Amino acid sequence: SDLQKQEERGELLQPLIFILLVLCSVLLYFKVSLMDPGFVKSEEETEAGNSEEQSMVIPQVPSNIKLRRCGYCMVKQPMRARHCQLCQHCVRRYDHHCPWIENCVGEKNHPLFIAYLSVQLVVLLWGGHAAWSGLYFEQSWDQLRHNIFLLVSFLLIVIFTIVVLLLLISHLYLISCNTTTWEFMSHHRISYLRHSELENPFDQGVIRNLWRFFC
């Protein structure tokens, strides 16, 4: 492959950058999967009614919509929080429970989750290019058989690249609208959205939505 040829020529810059990107991807994976996604603590109950996100939505929501108490962990849920049956906790700004990282994606780790997907996409695209550069289809079957690992790797990389790309695009779209996967999929079942005069009371425009999320 291209990376192997550069290494043999002593040109180590690109191979080292590729290795660093892979290590960065692995570190981000463990960071996102092991960190607190925004679990609601019991001592936060008194602060839940004063959160910034709730103050943004109250004018558009009827006054009879109250903060509900979770029937599982018995904490008072802030606006946009949801209980995760797998994590056994309520999560602030709950997006979804990701089986790949075995953790919820919520208020605290959602930006890092986007960073992880972005780095992973770069690694997959670069790895796919490296695998493709090592394939020579004019070879005989006996020679190609020795490179079957490259061919299988390339096909797997293509599949994972499509999955990661679609996932990243969908999350960036939802972030630009200031909504979550859970709110987007269950809009009709969420009281503060179902009774709101606006379709999405949290939307402040694409620029401000992106700024609030990443900054």
Residue in this structure with the two tokens 């029937």, named with its chain if needed: 71
Decide: 155 and 124 in contact? Cβ < 8 Å: no
Q: How many CB atoms lie within 10 A of CB 22?
A: 15
Q: Which of 103, 94, 136, 118 is nearest to 32 (CA)?
A: 103
* Residue 7, both tokens: 């290494």
For 47, phi and psi rounded to 5 degrees?
A: -90, -10
- Is 98 labeled as catalytic in the residue annotation? yes
Pairing of the two strands 89-91 and 82-84: antiparallel
Instruction: Name the active-site residue from 24, 70, 87, 98.
Output: 98
Within the chain, what is the greatest distance between any pair of CA atoms?
74
**DSSP secondary structure code for residue 199 in this structure:** S
Where does residue 167 fall: left (phi above 0), alpha (psi -120 to 50 degrees), or beta otherwise? alpha
* Residue 122, both tokens: 């770069």
E strand or H helix at 56, and its extent? helix 52-57
Which residues are part of the catalytic machinery?
98
